[in-house]
Structure 1
Amino acid sequence: MITVQDILEIPELDLRLLAGKASVSNPVRWVHISEVPDPTKWLKGGELLLTTGYSFAGDEADQVEQIKRLIDHNISGLGFGTGFSFDKVPAALVRVAEEYGFPLFEVPYHVPFLAISEAVASKIVNEQYSLLQRSLAVHEKLTKIVLEEKGLEAILSTLAALVGCSAVLFDFHGVVLCEAAYRRRLGADTVADLWRMIGDRRADRQNFALSMDGAGSSVQVYPVVASHRIGAFLAVVKDSGDFSEYDRIILHNVVTVTALELVKKKAVAETEKRLAGDFFDELIASDLYEEEIARRLAFFGLDAQLAHLIVLVDIDEGGGDVGERGEAAALDVKERLHWTVDEFMARRDVLSISASRSDSVVVLVQPGEADAAEVIRLAGELQGVVAEMLPEISVSIGIGRPHRQLTDLRQSYYEASYAIRIRRLKDERAVIASFDDLGSYGLLLGLQDTLSLEVFYDSVLGRLRDYDAQNSSDLVKSLASFLEANGHWGDAAEKLFVHRHTLRYRMKRVEEITGRDLGSSQDRMEFWLALKARELIDQSRKGKQTTA
């Protein structure tokens, strides 16, 4: 940055300061020569103006008005060439310039304005070249960090050392991803206050400054845009002084490489999620042998020799139903829920893998020495964290039993899923449900022989099944859709592509044929269990066909 003082100190120019000594640190953006009374329409501010005084030939009042106009337009300073219109700089100009702290200097007759312009241009070019070289060095340093996969911590530590600042990287929801400091680290309260201020403006893609009590200077905030959406916010507090142009170039480079790092992390995470999702799909469908399950667990860093269990985090319907939101908003909620669950498990050092399935997050947990009570307590903490991070929804958490036999992990999934379902059939929401909640129904769902399941299914839905077969009707299917929709007529009718009145008629026929009451939670539970028993029968037969 070139200042008026830098120009005054060029020996060969022989310039003499007459007024405004306190402001000689004003930056000079460029040099402009003008002899018109009002040159401000051609100026942007920050220029050093040179004149021979031709435009100041009027009386003293006109001279005062003209120089005040220049001062109001944020001109860096005025160089007045003597020996042309004036032998010396008018006293009125000197007086007003001193009064307003405006740099005013005399340019001797023998010094051409071109010499000043060339000197300033040379200094600006040299400074810009030096800045470019330093910027390239910073770019190479940061690029090397990314290529060597040193991570966000190394990027922010480099930023803190180069700029002399404290830096905090928040994700879009306010979780601190990383922080670094040069001399002094920001306190936890300051970081929390900082996010509260950022949160109010997080939809803005522009950089902005904040002022807060806990910071020594203004806080610069930079949104980090990755994959066309804001992925994080970089907040930077300089230890002392203001941010220089070089500091801002460093920050721009840091934001760029941080975005690259976040995109890379997202790509890796999405690949792992896809692989985890495929694993859960095949596990639940009984498409994997013991050896293959062990190989997959080892790939995800889990010990196949230890017991594992399934934790199911499922979004409750009603009072924040994801289905009532737009598609993009619903997808965002599900992504945030998955991220929250993963982050919770990581912070608690719980070995696990997870995947999204519909409105749920399925987590395979390696509990280690933790007993059932400890796992339930952990689930309660997770539910509280989800409530804090996603207040617009509520979730129920189901916990299956731990199994050492890897092929039985599928059973743990159904235990967790059915435990939630049983509680919901009793019109309960936001529950922590486990195998113990199944009660006597746990015996049914734990049955491994198809014959026993067939007996139960026939006792509850046998007559309905036979009626469908004889009349080419879909009463069993309609009942299943009605129960899956938690008794919501509109949702179930839409899924079946029928009118609500048609569905109501079908449910009345179900009650007449089975002799049961859909208004009874006990009967709804048994209907639902019978349908699940049918699923287990079909899956068992599918497994036998695969083996054959």
Structure 2
Amino acid sequence: MAPSLQHLLDRHALGLRLVVAGTAGSLERPVAWVSSSDLPDPTPFLIADQIVLTTGTQFGTAVSATQVEAYVARLAAAGVAALGFGTEVITAGPPSELAQACAEHGVPLFEVPYRTPFIAVIRYAADLIAEADRERDAWALAAQRSIAFAALRPDASHAVVTELARALGAWVVLLDAHAATIADAAADGGRLRGRDRLVERVAEEAQGLLRRGQRSGATFTSPSGTVSLQTLGRRGDLRGVLAIGGADGPLDAAAQGVVTSVVAITGLTLEQGGALGRAGRALRLGVWRLLLAGESDAAGTVAEELATPLPSGAVRVGVATAADDGREALLSELERAAALAVGDLFVAEHDGRLSLIASDTPGLDAVLEGLFGGTPGRHLGLSRAVGLADLALGVGQAVSAHAQAAAEGRSIERFGALAVGGMTGLLDAARSRPVAEDLLGPVLLADREEGSALVESLRQWLEANGQWDPAAKRLGIHRHTLRNRITRVERLLERPLDTFAARTEVWLALVSLEDAGSGSGSGSGSARD
């Protein structure tokens, strides 16, 4: 603990006497050094939190209140911790003008008796400062030793962060290269709870540092005090960010040394974790290929050895993508989710996509919703529940669902919901409508110009599977009239409608126009009424 003016006053051998106490807390203020000076303005040679000793020679015997007030004002502005006045050199005691100026500026004033050399005060303060430095060095060494042992644990990142928080009496957050939280700890070593907004702010600031790609630091002010951030890793290859906040005041040199050691350890840990992560991804890809090859038993054995067991029973296969600059972040988040849901989620990279196998459980659905629901550019297609032996079927369903999700801008598409609409539900309205309008254009134009009902007659005839009487009855016209209308439609389309393929193409064109909200001429009804 750094010495204070109170420590000096308590040293009876020095015989110091307090004259002006200064502001609240001034007597306990840490002192950086003690020196003597009789210069009219010693401030160019001072540091903050220093005690100045003077005999008052600069004031002379005829003390000027103006001169003294300016002198004390300069000391206060320089951050001087206290002023000591040596008696019986120029005056018998501190001049009243000096005492008044010190009181006005909140600078403590104490009297140094003639029998006490200034060097005795300086030496005692220096001994206290050296002892405090030794205590901080011992503290730093013990903290670094605890952190080094923590780094050897299986959960190295969490253990190191917890030890650092405990040592500093502050909260600590470790974020990865995508500003996602890897580990956090409160000052008591527990988890950092109830501070979601603060963690979000930390993540936002971390993203700014990571985007620059350079080793750097930053600070910002929060309700809990100053928060400092430091990047981890090399320039151009940043691995994460370490954030510290809630400490009692700025970190001293010893604390900064401990933080520096943690920056080195966590940077190395994340570097090693990155290499292990890349190896793990390669092995999981091998497991995925074994599954696709029908070697489910071998795949299960390898997955068990990797401590990433495959989900059992009914599973859903997923295919996921993200924007180019968010793909790695999504993969990391999926891997963390898989680590927290061992045996319920398996993740692999395959054919440029992120593929996953998830247990068919509501809890895991909620996890996936959280990963994809709130982030633009992320799309996930999920299959129906299948067995691992039917992985290829599940992949096909997931690919179809993903394509639909991406086309329509949805975060998650489930094949079960997709299949409800049948094959026509797979039509891309934005792409199929122009083709439908081009195909049926002559018929649509005839309806608009002549007020005929060719489109509606065509639709009803196709709905009736090409049977004349049911379609004519529904339209309220004679079957010969309907025949004439269909014959005219064939002439306008320049194609006969006597084959299944031709009728199907025209039918799909009608569905595309209907789904896109297109009018169908001035007909007398709707095929869906």
SS of 1:276's equivalent in the other structure is: helix
* RMSD of aligned Cα (Å): 4.1
SS of 1:27's equivalent in the other structure is: coil
Aligned residue number for residue 55 of structure 1: 58
Shift of 1:362: 0.8
Shift of 1:174: 5.3
Shift of 1:181: 5.3
Shift of 1:177: 3.2
Q: Deviation digits for residues 151-189 of structure 1, max 9, x if unmatched? A: 34443443454455555555554547343453997653x
Question: What aligned pairs does 1:274-313 form with structure 2 within 5 A after superposition?
Answer: 274-280=282-288, 284=292, 286=293, 292-301=298-307, 306-307=312-313, 311-313=317-319
Are 2:363 and 1:356 aligned? no
SS of 2:301's equivalent in the other structure is: helix
Aligned residue number for residue 496 of structure 1: none
Aligned residue number for residue 394 of structure 2: 412
Distance 1:426 1:131 in 2: 61
Q: For structure 1, which segment, 37-46 or 293-302, has the greater mean C-alpha deviation from structure 2 after superposition? A: 293-302
Amino acid paired to 1:382: L
- The correspondence for 1:386, drawn from 349, 372, 377, is 372
SS of 2:275's equivalent in the other structure is: helix
Shift of 1:64: 1.8
Shift of 1:233: 4.5
Question: What aligned pairs does 1:70-109 form with structure 2 within 5 A after superposition?
Answer: 70-109=75-114
Distance 1:520 1:226 in 2: 61
Are 2:403 and 1:397 aligned? no
Shift of 1:234: 3.6
CA 175–184 in structure 1, closer or farther in 2 if over 3 Å, else same = closer
Amino acid paired to 1:414: G
CA 6–181 in structure 1, closer or farther in 2 if over 3 Å, else same = closer
Distance 1:132 1:437 in 2: 66
Q: Quick check: which has more Rg, 1 or 2? A: 2
| 8 Å CA contact 1:379, 1:432 repeated in 2 | no
Distance 2:73 2:299 in 1: 82
Aligned residue number for residue 140 of structure 1: 145
TM-score (norm 2): 0.65
SS of 1:201's equivalent in the other structure is: helix
Aligned residue number for residue 525 of structure 2: none
Distance 2:350 2:311 in 1: 26
Aligned residue number for residue 335 of structure 1: 328
- The correspondence for 1:39, drawn from 37, 42, 63, is 42
CA 427–7 in structure 1, closer or farther in 2 if over 3 Å, else same = closer
| 8 Å CA contact 1:225, 1:232 repeated in 2 | yes
Q: Deviation digits for residues 242-297 of structure 1, max 9, x if unmatched? A: 5774666655555554444444444333321122234435655x4x8566434323
Amino acid paired to 2:413: I
Aligned residue number for residue 494 of structure 2: none
| 8 Å CA contact 2:315, 2:385 repeated in 1 | yes
Shift of 1:302: 6.0
Q: Deviation digits for residues 317-355 of structure 1, max 9, x if unmatched? A: xxxxx3xxxxxxx3x400111123234445555523212
Q: For structure 1, which segment, 133-142 or 259-268, has the greater mean C-alpha deviation from structure 2 after superposition? A: 259-268
Are 2:201 and 1:208 aligned? no
| 8 Å CA contact 1:425, 1:521 repeated in 2 | no
Shift of 1:92: 0.6
CA 264–304 in structure 1, closer or farther in 2 if over 3 Å, else same = closer
SS of 1:127's equivalent in the other structure is: helix
CA 79–301 in structure 1, closer or farther in 2 if over 3 Å, else same = closer
| 8 Å CA contact 1:156, 1:180 repeated in 2 | no
Aligned residue number for residue 434 of structure 1: 415
Shift of 1:143: 0.6
Distance 2:145 2:271 in 1: 19
Shift of 1:61: 1.6
Amino acid paired to 1:341: L
CA 174–520 in structure 1, closer or farther in 2 if over 3 Å, else same = farther
Shift of 1:81: 2.4
Amino acid paired to 2:37: S
Aligned residue number for residue 526 of structure 2: none
Aligned residue number for residue 119 of structure 1: 124
Amino acid paired to 2:91: F
SS of 1:31's equivalent in the other structure is: strand
CA 193–251 in structure 1, closer or farther in 2 if over 3 Å, else same = same
| 8 Å CA contact 1:354, 1:361 repeated in 2 | yes
Where structure 2 has 5 or more consecutive residues not aligned to the other structure, the ranges are 210-215, 424-500, 510-529
Amino acid paired to 2:238: R
CA 118–334 in structure 1, closer or farther in 2 if over 3 Å, else same = same
- The correspondence for 1:28, drawn from 27, 31, 56, is 31
| 8 Å CA contact 2:348, 2:355 repeated in 1 | yes
CA 145–304 in structure 1, closer or farther in 2 if over 3 Å, else same = closer
| 8 Å CA contact 1:50, 1:79 repeated in 2 | yes
| 8 Å CA contact 2:285, 2:349 repeated in 1 | yes
Shift of 1:139: 0.8
Distance 2:508 2:313 in 1: 34
Q: Deviation digits for residues 22-79 of structure 1, max 9, x if unmatched? A: 5222322122332322221222322212223222236332122112111121111122
Identical-residue share of aligned pairs (%): 21
Shift of 1:12: 3.2
Aligned residue number for residue 514 of structure 2: none
CA 115–521 in structure 1, closer or farther in 2 if over 3 Å, else same = farther
Distance 1:396 1:149 in 2: 32
TM-score (norm 1): 0.63
Shift of 1:14: 2.5
Distance 1:521 1:250 in 2: 74
SS of 1:182's equivalent in the other structure is: coil
| 8 Å CA contact 2:34, 2:50 repeated in 1 | yes
